[in-house]
């Protein structure tokens, strides 16, 4: 395994492998350290959930994988190809296999094009014959639950948020991708519609044999859909592992704090634990050592001087912490199960 903090990578069998990815944005105020040497991988057919507070680098990570954002350093392997330096022409071909759907479906759809044209725009760019495009459009619209005879000629403004997200998903599927990156795909939707879209993604995953990266700040959503979960804080990986294991027995204080910050299902009971205090420090000048140390209830001197590497703290569970948490008691486990 290359570099530091890559102990959780699973080798050649992964469809997507990201090693020591760094994404920095030069700005007039200084260099924004959006993603700082993170590593993760996703096996074929797996769903990896990426969670963390706003600004921790989730979208930047997703965009960097598709090379929609700059890659300052690090390596990205998709299938057999190392793509971190692939040119735009090569990426245009690769992106047929790696599709992304976004938080705001309406703004991601061209307002002047009909649903059927939007759905096959990637096929048009690739020069697919008209008859193939029409057949694929009808097929993928049907797969996402939109009757083609009713919706093909509709413009995006006539769609609800949930329907627009279905069109965006159909557009991604039209190219038969192997990897689908979903960046907060349900955050902008009503709660009732959220469940429908999550169920749809689950069904399509099996039907289209997809591997999924699912980005969300909602822990409940990530838990529902993910096999593995990666928790990020201020551009770093805090914890990585099997999602049930991480949610039931978090080993990183930040994961614990995130779980504690979730409102309980009964609103009168407030939150699961003490609120996460303080603001996230600026990515222009992150804290030395462990980036979570300014908010961590367990911080000690070493946390300010030495950066913790991602290491296996329990079988299959990895954390970047000098003092990982012990497994929680059965009583606390049953509390997190209510979330």
Cβ-contact 193, 162 below 8 angstroms: yes
Q: Which CB sits closer to Mg ion, 13 or 54? A: 54
Residue 321 touches which member of ligand SF4, Mg ion, ligand ATP, none, C-beta under 5-8 Å by kind: ligand SF4
Partner from Mg ion, ligand SF4, ligand ATP, none binding residue 55, C-beta < 5-8 Å depending on class = ligand ATP
Closest to Mg ion by CB, 59 vs 194, is: 59
The Cα–Cα gap between 99 and 79 comes to 14
- Residue 54 site contact among ligand ATP, ligand SF4, Mg ion, none (CB < 5 to 8 Å, cut-off depends on kind): ligand ATP
Residue 25 or 208: the one with the smaller Cβ distance to ligand ATP is 25
Quote the least distance from Cβ 58 to ligand ATP, whole Å. 4
Q: For residues 3-42, which are near ligand ATP according to CB under 6 A?
A: 25, 27, 32, 34
Identify the bridge partners of residue 40 per DSSP, sorted by sequence position. Answer: 18
How many residues at the interface with ligand ATP, by CB under 6 A? 14
Residue whose CB is nearest to Mg ion in the complex, by number: 59
User: Six-digit token pair at 69?
Assistant: 């954002």
Task: Give min distance, CB of 181 to Mg ion, in A.
Answer: 11
Whichever of 241 and 308 has its CB closer to ligand SF4, that residue is 308
Among 58, 223, 256, 295, binds ligand ATP (CB under 6 A): 58
b/e burial code for range 203-223 (CB count within 10 A of at least 16 → b): ebbeeeebbbbbbbbebebbb
Q: Which two tokens stand for residue 279?
A: 């603001």
What does the block give as tokens for 22? 């760094």
CB of 34 to ligand ATP, least distance (A): 3
Considering beta carbons, is residue 52 or 253 the nearer one to ligand ATP? 52
For position 290 contacting ligand ATP by CB under 6 A, the verdict is no
Asked whether 7 and 241 are in contact (CB, 8 A), the reply is no
By DSSP bridging, strand 30-42 and strand 16-27 are: antiparallel
240's CB contacts (< 8 A; 6+ apart) are 8, 40, 228, 229, 230, 231, 246, 310, 317, 318, 319
Secondary structure E strands in 125-263: 179-183, 211-215, 228-233, 236-242
Contact residue for ligand ATP among 105, 250, 253, 283 (CB under 6 A): 283
| Minimum CB–partner distance for residue 53 and ligand SF4 (Å) | 15
Between CA 280 and CA 205 the distance in angstroms is: 34
Q: Is 59 in the site for Mg ion (CB under 5 A)?
A: yes
The CA distance from 257 to 51, in Å, is: 13
Stretch binding Mg ion (CB under 5 A), from 5-13, 51-59, 202-210, 325-333 = 51-59
Q: What is the dihedral of CA 66, 70, 76, 81, to 10 degrees?
A: 70
The C-alpha atoms of residue 250 and residue 248 are separated, in whole angstroms, by 6
Query: Would you count residue 217 as binding ligand ATP (CB under 6 A)?
Result: yes
Rounded CA gap, 294 and 287, in Å? 7
Q: Which positions from 228 to 267 touch ligand ATP by CB under 6 A, shown as an x/- string?
A: ----------------------------------------
In terms of Cα–Cα distance, which of 88, 337, 139 is closest to 223?
337
Among 47, 59, 251, 317, binds ligand ATP (CB under 6 A): 59
Nearer to Mg ion among residue 59 and residue 136 (C-beta): 59
Residue with tokens 């990201």, as numbered in its chain: 18
Interface contacts to Mg ion, rule CB under 5 A = 59
Interface contacts to ligand ATP, rule CB under 6 A = 25, 27, 32, 34, 52, 54-60, 217, 283
């Amino acid at each position: 395994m290359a570099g530091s903090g890559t102990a959780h990578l699973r080798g050649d069998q992964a469809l997507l492998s990201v090693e020591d990815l760094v994404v920095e944005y030069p700005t007039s105020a200084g260099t924004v350290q959006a993603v700082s040497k993170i590593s993760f991988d996703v096996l074929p057919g797996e769903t990896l959930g990426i969670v963390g507070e706003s600004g921790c680098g989730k979208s930047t990570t997703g965009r960097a994988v598709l090379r929609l954002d700059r890659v300052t350093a690090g390596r990205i392997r998709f299938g057999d190809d190392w793509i971190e330096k692939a040119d735009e022409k090569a990426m245009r071909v690769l992106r047929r296999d790696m599709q992304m759907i976004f938080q705001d479906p309406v703004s991601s759809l061209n307002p002047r094009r009909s649903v059927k044209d939007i759905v096959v725009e990637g096929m048009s760019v690739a020069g697919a014959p008209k008859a193939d495009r029409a057949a694929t459009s009808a097929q993928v619209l049907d797969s996402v639950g939109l009757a083609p005879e009713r919706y093909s000629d509709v413009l995006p403004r006539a769609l609800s948020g949930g329907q627009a997200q279905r069109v965006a998903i159909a557009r991604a599927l039209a190219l038969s991708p192997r990897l689908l990156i979903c960046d907060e795909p349900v955050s902008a939707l009503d709660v009732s519609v959220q469940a429908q879209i999550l169920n749809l993604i689950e069904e399509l995953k099996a039907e289209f044999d997809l591997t999924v990266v699912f980005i969300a700040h909602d822990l409940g959503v990530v838990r529902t859909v993910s096999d593995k979960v990666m928790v990020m804080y201020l551009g770093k990986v805090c914890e990585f592992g099997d999602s049930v294991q991480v949610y039931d027995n978090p080993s990183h204080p930040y994961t614990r704090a995130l779980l504690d910050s979730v409102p309980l299902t009964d609103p009168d009971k407030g939150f699961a634990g003490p609120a996460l205090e303080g603001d996230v420090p600026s990515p222009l000048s992150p804290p030395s050592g462990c980036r979570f140390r300014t908010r961590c209830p367990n911080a000690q001197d070493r946390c300010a001087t030495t950066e913790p590497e991602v290491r296996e703290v329990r079988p299959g569970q990895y954390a970047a912490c000098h003092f990982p948490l012990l497994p929680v008691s059965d009583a606390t486990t049953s509390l997190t199960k209510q979330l």
